[in-house]
Amino acid sequence: MKLYKGQSTQDMGRAAAQHGAAVLRASVAQKGIARALFSTGASQFTLFEALKEQDVPWDKVVFFHLDEYIGIDEDHNASFARYLKDRFLQDIAVKEAHLIPGKGDPQTIISDITREIRKAPIDLGFIGIGENAHIAFNDPPANFETKEAFHVVKLDEGCRRQQVHEGWFESIEQVPQLAVSATVYQIMQCRTIISCVPGERKQQSIKNTLESDVTNMIPATILQTHPDWHLFLDDQSSTLLP
């Protein structure tokens, strides 16, 4: 693991974007293509803004979406597919974009996205860490055993409250209880993982992630075992660390 901490939120996002851009450029130079998996949420705002400023051959990048609520329309404020289109894909022309629809049969959706993501390795994953230390929507106790690429998960109360805190929903009752999510196994297959984790509300989850043994009750601890994990923290999320 490489840890970058104590920057402003904007500087953190810029540093993470610069490192990610370098990984994507290297992949394109080596193979002629790069494949990347992207988180969403309020924590990734500065990352996406900074990514749009980077020198990346986006027409050679295949873009994958990490997770999505089940049953949500794409025009809903909380739709992650809408988030990605509004905040990135409408400005950047990638080679391919594989987004997870909120409506439709979940097993068909999983079959379709699995077929695409397993065509070749994923070079880079931008993987956020939640207030309950989830990665994607793998809430505790996360499934560390499955070798599937995507699965249906039930969101715990802490995860659902985070969505209200961030302003995506007005109340916890409005937050869907189920989602399609990349599995922990699929996330760990990324050759490089960059985690951009800002904000005061992430202090405890970051401390737990870095100071606990690997456990599915703190899902992000699994990232400790990844050979090329880069964790970017701002001056708020890093406060509880030495």
What are the residue boundaries of the structural domains of the chain, listed by start? 2-234
- Would you state the pLDDT for residue 133? 96
pLDDT digit string, tens, across residues 1-40: 999 997 899 999 999 999 999 999 999 999 999 999 999 9
- Model's pTM, two decimal places? 0.95
Top-level CATH class of 2-234?
alpha beta
pLDDT given for residue 168 in this prediction: 87
Mean predicted lDDT score pLDDT of the chain: 96
Give the pLDDT mean for 186-193. 98
Per-residue pLDDT, averaged over 209-226, amounts to: 98
80-89 long-range contacts (CB < 8 A, ≥24 apart) are 80/40, 80/41, 83/40, 83/41, 84/38, 84/40, 87/45, 87/48, 87/49, 88/38, 88/48, 88/51, 88/52, 89/63
Residue-wise pLDDT for 60-119, tens only, equals 999 999 999 999 999 998 999 999 999 999 999 999 999 999 999 999 999 999 999 999
